[in-house]
Amino acid sequence: MRTPSLIALRAFEVAARCRNFTEAASELSVTPGAVSRQIRLLEEELGISLFDRTRNTVTLNDNGRRLAATVSEAFALLAHGADALRGQREGPVHITCAPSIATHWLMKRLNQFSTLHPDVTLSLESTEELIDLERGEASLAIRFVTAGTRLPSSELLFREAFFPVCSPTYLQQHPLREPADLVGARLIHATWKSASKLSIPSWGDWFDQHVGPGVDASAGMRFGLIGHAIQGAVAGQGFALGSTALAGDDIAQGRLVLPFGQACRITTPWEYRLAWSRKATPGERLRRLIDWLVAEARSSAADI
C-alpha cells in the first residue's frame, strides 16, 4: 500500500481546515498556487477529486470531507506522539498580554497554576505590542478583539461589559440612588486603546446611555490604562468604569462595589480570547494551561 505524499497531505489538511487556499498558504508560508498544485497532485495520485471548483471558489466535496477527517486525526496523532517524546525537554510556556489584564487577572492565576502544576515552567511578558504567535515568539496570547474576529486557534475568556465601580468606603461617603447622581461626581477616566486600536467606552458613552445626551463628563483624573483607573477606584479616588475581566477580582474580594448592581452597564462587541499558533496542536502541558485558564475565566465572570 503506497502512502500519498506527506507534503500533499499536509497542504490538503490545512486547506480543508481553513476552507480557503489563501489562508492555507499563509499558514504554510507558501503561495496559494503551491497549495493548489499539491492538492492537484494528491487528487491525481488518489484518482478522485477532493474539492468542487467553481470560477471563484473551492469547496470540499464528499470525498474531501471523508479524507479530511482521517488526515486531521492522523496529523493530531503525530503531534501528540511528538509531544510525548519531547517530555521533559519542553521549555517554558511563554504568555503575552496587555499590562492591565496581566496585573488584574492573569498573574494571580499563573501563581495558582504553578502551585498546582510544578512541572510546567511559565514566562509572562506584559506588553501592548502584538507578539507574533506564528513565529514562535510566544506560546499563548490573550487578545482583545471584536467578537467574531477569526482566530482559529483560540478560546473565549471574557465578553466585556463596563459598569461603574468604586470602593465601599467611597460609596458610603458619596451614596448614589440613580444614574443621574453621578453627574458632577468625581470620575476616573481611562483612555486606553488596544494594539489593534479598539477603544474602551468612556464616561461620556455611559451617561449618553443611562442618563441622556449632553452631560459634561470631562472633569476628573485620567489614566492611560484601565487597570490604573481601577486601582484609583480601589484607593478611594472616585468612580471608575470597571470591566468584566479587569474588575472581577477586586469585586469578589470586596475592594470594589457596583453602585447600581447588575444594572446600568455598557455591553460591548469586544472580548478577550486566549490564542495560540495555528501551526501545531497544543502539547499536553500547554493544553493543561489553556483548559485551566478558560475554566478560571468562566468562574470569575459568573460572579459579576
* 168/295 same-domain check: yes
Beta strands in 77-233, from DSSP E residues, in sequence order: 93-97, 122-126, 140-146, 154-165, 187-190, 221-223
**Beta partners for 270?**
146
Residue 203 contacts residue 128 (beta carbons within 8 Å): no
Q: What is the pLDDT of residues 125-169, one digit of tens each?
A: 998 888 888 888 899 999 998 888 878 789 999 999 999 999 999
Residue 1 lies in a domain: no
In the block, cell 501563581 appears at 111
Residue 233 contacts residue 288 (beta carbons within 8 Å): no
* 51/140 same-domain check: no
* 104/198 same-domain check: yes
Q: What is the mean pLDDT of residues 3-7?
A: 84
* 24/82 same-domain check: yes
Q: How many structural domains does the chain have?
A: 2
Q: Residue 150's closest CA among 20, 292, 256?
A: 20
Specify the DSSP class assigned to residue 240: E
Mean pLDDT across the chain, nearest whole number? 88
Q: What is the pLDDT of residues 216-273, one digit of tens each?
A: 888 889 998 888 999 999 999 999 999 999 999 999 999 999 999 889 999 999 999 9
Residue 139 contacts residue 284 (beta carbons within 8 Å): no
Q: Is 299's pLDDT higher than 70?
A: yes
Residue 151 lies in a domain: yes
* 173/27 same-domain check: no
- Picking from 67, 87, 107, the residue at the C-terminal end of a domain is 87
Residue 223 contacts residue 188 (beta carbons within 8 Å): yes
Dihedral in degrees, nearest 10, Cα atoms 254, 258, 262, 265: -130
Q: Calculate the alpha carbon distances from 266 to 164, 203, 209, 243, 270 in Å.
A: 10, 10, 8, 9, 11
Q: How far apart are CA 213 and CA 217, in angstroms?
A: 11
Q: What is the pLDDT of residues 154-163, one digit of tens each?
A: 999 999 999 9
Give the model's pLDDT for residue 82. 64
Domain housing 23: 6-87
* 303/175 same-domain check: yes
CATH number for the domain including 71? 1.10.10.10
Q: How far apart are CA 152 and CA 27, in angstroms?
A: 11
Q: What is the mean pLDDT of residues 97-106?
A: 92
* 178/214 same-domain check: yes
Give the model's pLDDT for residue 88. 46
Residue 189 lies in a domain: yes
Q: What is the pLDDT of residues 46-71, one digit of tens each?
A: 989 999 888 777 889 999 899 988 98
- Picking from 87, 119, 150, the residue at the C-terminal end of a domain is 87
pTM for the full model? 0.68
Residue 165 contacts residue 104 (beta carbons within 8 Å): no
* 179/266 same-domain check: yes
* 71/187 same-domain check: no
